[in-house]
């Protein structure tokens, strides 16, 4: 963070690490540091828990002894932790500028407008909203208020099944690729999946497509996971016939279709851990995670799938050791993550439905 005091900006990594470790030791279980898999290596090394957004939200909900929860990730993750933990617990995001561009692709106004339009087109259908974890807290609240739930890439299929038991159509936002890939895994045909066009008039053709659809998708996407292409897969298979390709479901459908395995960040970590020694694995997900897996599993050959396009999440990369050190050394004086009570109640309902269905 540019606004950090000089003594944090000038300190070297070894000094910052030692200072963070000293605070953690002094505070014991009163302080919990959560680190997302896409954080820098040195931040992950200091996490009490490392995981994806699903795993870490479960931990945040269960960290009963912690007075302070520091979430090294992006804003929607820290807000989900704030929503799930007890009111007296304090939640922090070490770099407040770390957002998620995909989450910002669906505004509250746009989604509300879309919801009303879809209901007008299908007045007699029960429509269930499902919000991806990567979304604004206000939209999680919208989902909770309207009977829906949150999902992550770990449990999207279970969430879709849950919603189809309660409604005829699903309205899923904001990641079109996770929505499309999950719909296909559940046996839906392309014509049963409609990509909504926000901010434009719904034509007669669109109306018919919405009526025919089982799943209505928002046109959001992750700029990191959509960097991977089918060409990258073809090049790998031509060069290394024994390669195993594993990708995240935020990748485009043709990439998911061409892979040997697809799954959440936690799934990818397990895939690498359980692969045979000597395996060659090309991974379609964020570079910091792939680099850490390669560094940890030196008995396997681990590569990033594109090899060229630098699939790095610059938002995850924003959190530095200096940010983390500043946060843990100033817990009682710096701003916590706060959410309006009314929004929190509805968002919590949607998040708790997700935790109930499991992954």
Nearer to ligand SF4, 84 or 222 (CB): 222
Q: Which is nearer to ligand SF4, 11 or 100 (CB)?
A: 100
Q: Considering the complex, state which of residue 52 and residue 138 has its C-beta at the smaller distance from ligand SF4.
A: 52
Q: Are strands 127-132 and 149-151 parallel, antiparallel or unpaired?
A: parallel
CA–CA dist 40, 17 (Å, integer): 13
For the bound state, the minimum distance from the C-beta of residue 79 to ligand SF4, rounded and expressed in Å, comes to 13
Query: What contacts 289, CB < 8 A, 6 or more positions away?
Result: 37, 38, 265, 268, 269, 283
Q: In the complex with ligand SF4, which residue's Cβ is closer, 224 or 272? A: 224
What six digits make up the tokens of 185? 């895994």
Question: Between 144 and 249, whose beta carbon lies closer to ligand SF4?
Answer: 249
DSSP-assigned beta bridge partners for residue 261:
246
Q: How far is CA 242 from CA 83, 203, 256, in A?
A: 45, 48, 18
Query: Smallest gap, in angstroms, from Cβ of residue 97 to ligand SF4?
Result: 13
Choose between 101 and 147: whose C-beta lies nearer to ligand SF4.
101
Least distance from ligand SF4 to the Cβ atom of residue 152, Å: 11
Comparing CB distances to ligand SF4, the nearer of 209 and 283 is 283
CB 102 to ligand SF4: min, Å = 4
CA 337 to CA 335: how far, in whole Å?
A: 7
CA nearest to 215, candidates 91, 118, 74 = 118
Shortest distance in whole angstroms from residue 250 CB to ligand SF4: 6
Residues 6+ apart with CB under 8 A from 65: 29, 30
- Least distance CB 238 / ligand SF4 (angstroms): 28
Is the Cβ of residue 143 or residue 153 nearer to ligand SF4 in the bound state? 153
Token couple for 282 = 């090309």
Give the integer Cα–Cα distance in Å for 280 and 241: 10
305 alpha carbon, distance to own chain's centre = 20
Residue 259 near residue 246 (C-beta atoms within 8 A): yes
CB of 286 to ligand SF4, least distance (A): 5
What minimum distance in Å lies between the beta carbon of 54 and ligand SF4? 13
CB of 101 to ligand SF4, least distance (A): 5
Q: Which is nearer to ligand SF4, 134 or 176 (CB)?
A: 134
Q: List contacts with ligand SF4 (CB under 6 A).
A: 38, 74, 100-102, 134, 222-224, 286, 313, 315-316
């Amino acid at each position: 963070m540019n606004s950090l005091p000089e003594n944090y900006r000038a300190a070297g990594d070894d000094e910052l690490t030692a200072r963070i470790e000293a605070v953690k030791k002094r505070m014991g279980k009163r302080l919990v540091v959560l680190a997302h898999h896409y954080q820098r290596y040195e931040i992950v090394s200091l996490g009490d828990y490392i995981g994806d957004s699903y795993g870490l939200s479960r931990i945040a909900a269960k960290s009963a002894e912690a007075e302070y929860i520091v979430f090294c990730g992006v804003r929607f993750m820290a807000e989900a932790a704030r929503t799930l933990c007890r009111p007296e617990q304090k939640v922090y995001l070490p770099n407040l500028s770390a957002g998620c561009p995909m989450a910002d692709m669906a505004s509250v106004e746009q989604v509300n407008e879309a919801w009303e339009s879809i209901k007008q087109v299908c007045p007699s259908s029960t429509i269930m909203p499902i919000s991806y974890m990567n979304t604004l807290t206000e939209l999680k609240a919208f989902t909770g208020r309207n009977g829906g739930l949150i999902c992550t890439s770990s449990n999207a299929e279970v969430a879709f099944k849950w919603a189809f038991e309660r409604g005829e159509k699903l309205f899923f936002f904001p990641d079109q690729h996770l929505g499309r890939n999950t719909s296909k895994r559940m046996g839906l045909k392309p014509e049963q999946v409609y990509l909504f066009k926000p901010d434009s008039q719904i034509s007669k053709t669109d109306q018919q497509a919405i009526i025919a659809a089982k799943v209505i998708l928002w046109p959001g996407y992750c700029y990191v996971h959509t960097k991977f292409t089918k060409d990258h897969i073809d090049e790998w298979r031509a060069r290394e016939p024994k390669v195993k390709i594993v990708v995240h479901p935020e990748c485009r459908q043709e990439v998911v279709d061409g892979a040997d395995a697809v799954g959440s960040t936690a799934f990818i970590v397990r895939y690498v851990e359980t692969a045979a020694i000597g395996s060659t694995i090309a991974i379609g997900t964020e570079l910091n995670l792939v680099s850490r897996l390669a560094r940890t599993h030196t008995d396997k050959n681990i590569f990033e799938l594109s090899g060229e396009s630098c699939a790095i999440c610059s938002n995850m990369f924003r959190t530095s050791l200096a940010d983390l050190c500043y946060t843990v050394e100033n817990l009682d004086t710096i701003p916590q993550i706060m959410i309006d009570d009314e929004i929190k109640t509805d968002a919590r309902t949607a998040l708790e439905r997700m935790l109930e269905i499991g992954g």
